[in-house]
Amino acid sequence: MRDLSALIKAYDIRGVVPDQWGPDLSREVGTAFVEVLGIRSSDGGAGRIVVGHDMRPTGPDLVATFIDGVTAAGVDVVNIGLCSTDGLYFASGRIDVPGAMFTASHNPAEYNGIKLCRAGAAPVGQDSGLSQIREMLESENLPNYDGPYGSTSSQDMLLAYAQYLRELVPLDKSRRLKVVIDTGNGMGGFTVPAVLGDEILPALPLDIDPMYFELDGSFPNHEANPIDPENLRDLQKRVLEVGADIGLAFDGDADRCFVVDEKGGIVDPSTLTALIASRELVKAPGSTIIHNLITSRAVPEIVIENGGIPVRTRVGHSFIKATMAETGAIFGGEHSGHFYFRDFWKADSGMLAAMHALAALGETPESTTLSELLKPYLRYVMSGEINTKVTDAKSVIARIKETATKQGSELDELDGLTVSGDGWWFNVRSSNTEPLLRLNVEAKDMQNMEIVRDSVLSMMVG
């Protein structure tokens, strides 16, 4: 029996090609996905799946065999070719069919993977289909089909995607902005010219200074992972060199966006969450806004001040999307740079987040800078996520909990352990895939944040 635990993660399939997986296993995933979806009937052709891929060189071969596995089960495939992950979600939502996006997001060049969704871009994770797929693949208990085969068609969705995003966040009335955009040789180099440029739609009042727009899955300039500050250095430098109003960075599959202000400062995703939430609440007053428990406490404060209802969730897109569905939330944000929109089938879109940042700045007077615009949203000091290797995560968390209990701190175990005190809080939780503990700390000022941070870190290694 195969062990695919290193390949099939909590939210997607991701591993090294060909060491951990390749075309043969991709074909089996296609077959298993059809079975889990239950969209094949006895006469075949009972459903459709939309498939897309990023710029990684291994993508086309993996896509081809995945399509073989799907069509052999009598299910049709709509192949949209090169796309961002949010482009695949758009196609799944617009056509209302399940989807498969071949990408390894920000991982190094030797990786590839698949993000799966049900019709309407509904997530597929461990609790919603991935565990069943893993069981079928590990046991090699896959059905054999004798036809009829499904069909394969190609469809270009880029124009429709770009038009839809421009309808959600109009930028044509913005004041003129100078924007540096670093796509890290990822799929942003494909979508930015279509959505923000004039490649297929009329030009917007944006002067775009492009960085690393060439699609190259070997990532020759830097990793396409903007959550790591090192990968934002080139963007920060360029913003200052050209006197840009704003800088934008996308990850490899362009479903995450990070923002740099005119001073070269990195805008925390919590700040962007609060900004977008306040904008969405203007459109839908009194709506619910989702935020995970790692985001700044400023987020729920600002949501309440703007007449919204904040709802706190566990970390992870499946929890955000599920809670959005349960509450009818209009928007959700995560500390990792993922932003979810009700009007985008509750899916995450880095491009929509970028457009909100551009629109917010573009609506201000000519002299207003991004740092000035964001100042009201900056209320606390955050440590950022700190990863520490440990041999026994459970015992370390238990030790921290015991100490916090003795000190009379407020405890919360929604996701890992959250401890709150007078003007500070921290969360420590285990990684799903590595022997790591992830620590996030926030306080009213830098001194208190550092005191809390160092105290918790000492308990991790002590």
Identify the sign of the CA torsion 159, 91, 226, 413.
positive
Q: Which residues of 367-378 are buried (b: 16+ CB within 10 A; e: fewer)?
A: eeebeebbeebe
The string of pLDDT tens digits covering residues 359-382 is: 999 999 999 999 999 999 999 999
Residues 28, 144 within the same domain: yes
Q: What is the spatial distance between Cα 115 and Cα 121, in angstroms, rounded to a whole number?
A: 11
Is 107 a member of any domain?
A: yes
The tokens describing 69, both together, are: 């596995």
> Can you tell me the mean pLDDT for 309-332?
92
Residues 215, 96 within the same domain: no
Is 421 a member of any domain?
A: yes
Band (206; pLDDT cuts 50, 70, 90): very high
Residues 18, 145 within the same domain: yes
Helix (H) or strand (E) holding 165: helix 158-168
Residues 337, 399 within the same domain: no
Q: What is the spatial distance between Cα 194 and Cα 197, in angstroms, rounded to a whole number?
A: 6
Please report, rounded to a whole number, the percentage of residues in the chain having pLDDT higher than 70.
Answer: 98
Query: Per the structure, how many domains does the chain have?
Result: 4
Residue at which a domain ends, from 375, 399, 427: 375
Amino acid at 52: G
Q: Which range among 3-17, 42-56, 278-292, 330-344 shows the weakest confidence by mean pLDDT?
A: 42-56
Residues 204, 333 within the same domain: no
Residues 46, 176 within the same domain: no
Residue 60 has pLDDT above 80, yes or no: yes
pLDDT of residue 45: 43
Is 282 a member of any domain?
A: yes
The string of pLDDT tens digits covering residues 215-231 is: 999 999 999 999 999 99
Report, as residue numbers or ranges, the catalytic residues: 105
Residue 43 has pLDDT above 50, yes or no: no
Residues 18, 152 within the same domain: yes
CB 361 within 8 A of CB 245: yes
Is 8 a member of any domain?
A: no
Residues 362, 406 within the same domain: no
pLDDT of residue 239: 98
> Can you tell me the mean pLDDT for 139-154?
89
Band (319; pLDDT cuts 50, 70, 90): confident
pLDDT of residue 194: 98
Residue-range definition of the domain harbouring residue 99: 13-156
Q: What is the spatial distance between Cα 206 and Cα 226, in angstroms, rounded to a whole number?
A: 22
Residues 407, 352 within the same domain: no
CATH of the domain at 224: 3.40.120.10
Alpha-helix residue ranges (DSSP H) falling in 50-124:
59-72, 85-95
Q: Which residues of 249-267 are buried (b: 16+ CB within 10 A; e: fewer)?
A: bbbbbbbbbbbbbbebebb
The string of pLDDT tens digits covering residues 253-266 is: 999 999 999 999 99
Is 140 a member of any domain?
A: yes
The tokens describing 170, both together, are: 């109009």
pLDDT of residue 41: 52
Is 212 a member of any domain?
A: yes
| DSSP at 207 | E
Residue at which a domain ends, from 264, 281, 301: 264
Residues 191, 139 within the same domain: no
Determine the number of helices (DSSP H) and then strands (DSSP E) in the chain: 14, 23
CATH of the domain at 420: 3.30.310.50
Count of CB atoms situated within 10 Å of the CB of 1: 6
Is 97 a member of any domain?
A: yes
pLDDT of residue 166: 98
The tokens describing 443, both together, are: 């306080």
The tokens describing 360, both together, are: 């917010």
